Chains A and B, each alone.
Chain A
Amino acid sequence: MNVHDYEKLWIGLSMVLIVLFIGSITYGSVVAGVVMIDDAADPVDPDALGDHPDFGDPGVTQTGEDTYEVHVVAFHPGFNPDVIEVPANSTVTFHVTSMDVIHSFSIVGTNANSMVIPGEVSSMTVELGAPNRYGIVCNEYCGEFHHLMEGELVVVPEDEFELEADE
């Protein structure tokens, strides 16, 4: 087969480009430690979330000095809890599941952005700095009131933070 010289050059450059892309992404996940949503958590029964040890009573729990866990249940059209309060300068891991259809859990302005699928748990960790307020939206269409589905993440000064009494 006779391939034109320019064509050979182009194919070569294309392959280099592709390998570079794959390399940079591999670097991102292996070396820089960008964490993916995966299958780490066990599946849950969306019809029996009330009986689940964590999702039965969703909300914030403290797991270490500056580390917290937040369990969130998504439903059409809202999040439970819808306002999440955590202290500044903390590491927060969110575990989100759905009791009905597919949703998303996206904290605007952070890299926390995941699909939320009934039966599965999405876990993502965010490093939070100074006090701030972030909007949380569902960006997967979930029904006719989808656009009303929103929540808020409130990062409060460390000395103002209090865990809810029932924890």
Chain B
Amino acid sequence: MSTYVEQFPAEARLVRSAMYTAFVALGLGAAFGLLQVLHRTNVLRVIDSTDYYTILTLHGVLLVLTFTIFFLVAIFTWAITTSLDRPLPDHRFSWTWYGLMTGGTVLAAIPIVGGLIDQIDMSAAVLFTFYAPLQAHWLFYVGLALFVVGTWLAGVDWIRTYLAWRREHPDERIPLPTFMVLTTMGFWYLSSVGVALSVLVFLLPWSLGIFEHVNALLTRTMFWYFGHAVVYFWLMPTYLLWYLLLPKVAGGKLFSDPLARIVFVLFLLLSTPTGIHHQYLDPGIAEGFKYVAMTNTMFLLLPSLLTAFTVVASIEHGARQRGGTGRLRWLGALPWRDPVFTGMALAGVMFAAAGFSGIVNAGLNVNYLVHNTFWVVGHFHLTVGTAVALTFMAASYWFLPQVTGKPLWGRPLALGQVLLWFLGMTFMSNAMHRGGLAGIPRRTAEPQYNFSFEPAIGSVAELDAQVVLGGTLLFLSTVLFLTVVLGTLRGGVDPTRIPANTYAAALSEAEDGPRILDNLRLWVLIAVVLVILAYAFPIAAIVDRSGWLGPGGSPYPQVVWVVEYLVVALALR
């Protein structure tokens, strides 16, 4: 029994580097988040409103691509090596994918930041969804492509490790953590092919001037083909931690290994053929296709509901092991002073709340009310912004000692940090949801129009105050998190004070489930068939309507309008 860094020193270095990259992205992203909050509510404006979108692009890209996915590769590398008990096959290869991911991020960031500097003639204020015909500098697309290729190679690395293990253990069940990694990568390959094709075949050549225009609806559909699955790409490492780490720190075991496998198989099957649910309000897509996506989406509720059950049951088991009794009194026996436990548990609570607002979003016709309003921002700050981000931060308090050999510094601060995040997010997200119901849009520097929004209860000023308060607390919480990280790194190495590198065992073990669960080829095949069923017709219909390159539409920014517009705007002021 020893720590991860003692077992796998080389991999620990890789995991560490990926985590540090994630933390840098988190810190920068949070600072931009605070700027946005203050700007939108008109409390403090340090940038021009026209630059707001560059900041928002950075916030989106740094948090949902860089922070989440770098943390994911760290967790997955740990999961594979720990559960198969073998190192990665080739360290040069591993550092290559890490390098591609980091290089890709930097290349994509250059033109975005360039948009803030007048002397640099580059911009990429296209937000992380980069819908054409909004156009970014070509470096942005190159960076994205390299980043995605980096994640593909990371997957190859894990699969190679698995295959090597398989040769030596032909009859064993796949260890659960490895199973989770492989199913997740299955839908990641399947879905990211869509965005990679969109970028390489259409957007990059177009940004270089090779094509005059692209088909806006087609590239948008290809984005969402990936854009929904990417949500589950953030969520899967979170679920992995809830299944493997949370029961362990709660003092118990995972309730059921076979059920966990079923959950991951369902995600493999259903996370991609649902993307059109982000296009309920798009013209040019028939209602029938939207209906299919809606049904698939509703079935995707199942694995999350199963997860809720398993997680609660596992925690309860932990509490009873610790001497907890009664119907609900066992809750008191849980290790609430442990930031790893409390952070993840609070993240789970917020995720449950997000489930409700998510059902509203997924409703085909209810969606009209909230589509693209502040409601949606409230929703995903509960999901990716808390269920995922807070779980990652809490888990870092367990992982950092594992990968550095240094005991956690400032445990009470860490506990305060996770509580502060919960509190801040309660304010911010609640006010965002309510603002959205009143019609306040998202993605705007100045939601102040000639008419006013009227919330059902309270006032816009009160909502703004809550958003500012919440955003400030969240920013402080991030600073606290980074302080604990730095404090830990400054400490000395002392493996004797660190728990051993293990994960939760299961009450109902893998052998209780049918062998077919481990037949990954079969599941991938079904996933491919489902994707073809869900997407072949819509894509064919879109191309049939207006061709691969679309009917036209001029790229933006176009200098002429900007000048024209400025003249008009000045004349009106």
Chain A positions near chain B (C-beta within 8 angstroms):
1-4, 6-7, 10-11, 14-15, 17-18, 21-22, 24-26, 28-29, 34, 36-39, 41, 43-48, 75-77, 98-102, 104, 106, 108-109, 111, 113-123, 133-135, 137-148, 150, 152
Contacts and interface: CB of A to CB of B under 8 A. Distances in A.
A2 B509 CA distance: 10
A143 B558 CA distance: 10
B259 A36 contact: no
A46 B552 contact: yes
Contacts of A100: 133, 553-554, 556, 558, 561
Contacts of A118: 133, 216, 550-553
Given A106-B441, A111-B369, A76 B561 contact: yes
B364 interface: yes
Interface in B224-275: 255-256, 258-259
Given A109-B439, A135-B449, A147-B52, 5 more contacts: A24-B363, A43-B546, A75-B561, A101-B556, A113-B369
Interface of B: 49-53, 56, 125, 127, 131, 133-134, 215-217, 220, 255-256, 258-259, 279-287, 290-291, 294-295, 298-299, 301-302, 305-306, 309, 313, 359, 362-366, 368-369, 371-373, 439, 441-447, 449-451, 453, 508, 512-514, 541, 545-546, 550-554, 556-558, 561-562, 565, 569
A144 B565 CA distance: 11
A18 B302 contact: yes
Contacts of B450: 135, 150, 152
Nearest to A135: B451
A47 B203 CA distance: 19
B247 to A, nearest CB: 15
- Among B215, B287, B453, the most chain A Cβ lie within 10 Å of the Cβ of B287
Nearest to A137: B441
B362 to A, nearest CB: 8
Q: Report the 8 A-B pairs with minimum CB-CB distance, sorted nearest first.
A: A118-B553, A139-B441, A135-B451, A47-B552, A144-B50, A120-B284, A120-B283, A122-B283
A29 B287 contact: yes
Given A14-B301, A144-B50, A117 B217 contact: yes
A117 B281 CA distance: 10
A95 to B, nearest CB: 10
B444 A147 contact: yes
A77 B10 CA distance: 53
Given A10-B309, A101-B134, A106-B441, A47 B553 contact: yes
B282 A115 contact: yes
Contact of B372 (A98, A111, A140, A152): A140
Contacts of B216: 101-102, 117-119
B551 A7 contact: no
Contacts of B258: 1
Contacts of A116: 283
Contacts of B366: 25
Contact of B284 (A4, A10, A34, A117): A117
B80 to A, nearest CB: 26
Contacts of B550: 118-119
B298 A18 contact: yes
B131 A39 contact: no
15 contacts: A3-B259, A10-B309, A17-B305, A25-B364, A39-B541, A43-B545, A43-B551, A101-B133, A102-B133, A117-B220, A118-B216, A140-B131, A143-B53, A150-B449, A152-B450
